[in-house]
Amino acid sequence: MPKRHHSPNSAKPTPFSPAHRKQRGNHNRNLIALWVGIGLVVVFAAAWLLLRPSQGLPAEISVAQAFEKYQAEALFVDVRTQEEWNQGHIAKSVLIPLDELPNRLDELPRDRDIVVVCHTGVRSKEGATILHNAGFKRVSCLSGGIQGWVAGGYPIQQ
């Protein structure tokens, strides 16, 4: 096999020449920079998705926060059924079952804080979203529902 000689004027360096090692080193540094850049983009995108504002969706508030709103005369809208309401409800709250809520929006004030309540907090999220999508700006839902309210030691009316 004939021996290859590297000429300084040739366009392509041989595999073991200093010029080839330099090219390979530059290539490796470029790949590292590319992966670091991709990693940074992924980290920043994940942080943005996790930390961005909630798009103005209704806040889910704790029982203690709800009680503060209750004391400040917020309107509590209970979206449970009549039967559930009869078993116990927050005093001065208004019963509008979730399936009736879209047709009874005109009964609710738009200039007052509204806290939506259900049994465990699942339906209240849906109710708060219905109100939010209908243009109500001061809406939140009670995390844990009436169960959380009672567990927190707050009174209910029978």
**Is the CB of residue 79 less than 8 Å from the CB of residue 100?**
no
User: Does 135 fall in a domain?
Assistant: yes
Q: State the 10-residue block means of pLDDT for the chain, 158 residues long.
A: 55 65 72 82 69 63 94 96 95 96 96 94 93 93 94 91
User: Does 71 fall in a domain?
Assistant: yes
What distance in Å separates the CA atoms of residue 71 and residue 74, rounded to the nearest whole number? 7
Q: Which residues does the annotation mark as catalytic?
A: 118
User: Does 157 fall in a domain?
Assistant: no
Instruction: Kindly state whether residues 102 and 137 are assigned to the same domain.
Output: yes
The domain in which residue 42 lies consists of 11-52
Instruction: Kindly state whether residues 100 and 117 are assigned to the same domain.
Output: yes
pLDDT number for residue 90: 95
- pTM, two decimals, is 0.65
What distance in Å separates the CA atoms of residue 40 and residue 66, rounded to the nearest whole number? 40
**Is the CB of residue 63 less than 8 Å from the CB of residue 143?**
yes
Instruction: Kindly state whether residues 95 and 117 are assigned to the same domain.
Output: yes
Which residue, among 110, 100, 158, has the nearest Cα to 134 in the 3D structure? 110
Q: How buried is residue 90: exposed, middle or buried, by Cβ count under 10 Å (0-12/13-18/19+)?
A: buried
User: Does 6 fall in a domain?
Assistant: no
Instruction: Kindly state whether residues 129 and 68 are assigned to the same domain.
Output: yes
User: Does 122 fall in a domain?
Assistant: yes
Q: How many domains does the chain have?
A: 2
User: Does 73 fall in a domain?
Assistant: yes
User: Does 128 fall in a domain?
Assistant: yes
Cβ atoms < 10 Å from Cβ of 27: 10
pLDDT number for residue 48: 58
What distance in Å separates the CA atoms of residue 93 and residue 72, rounded to the nearest whole number? 13
What distance in Å separates the CA atoms of residue 66 and residue 133, rounded to the nearest whole number? 21
Three-class secondary structure assignment of 84-108 = HHHHCECCCCEECCCCCHHHCHHHC
In this structure, what CATH number is given to the domain that contains residue 136? Answer: 3.40.250.10
Instruction: Kindly state whether residues 63 and 120 are assigned to the same domain.
Output: yes
Instruction: Kindly state whether residues 33 and 99 are assigned to the same domain.
Output: no
pLDDT number for residue 24: 67
Instruction: Kindly state whether residues 65 and 47 are assigned to the same domain.
Output: no
Q: Strands (DSSP E) along 6-47, which ranges?
A: none
Instruction: Kindly state whether residues 73 and 143 are assigned to the same domain.
Output: yes
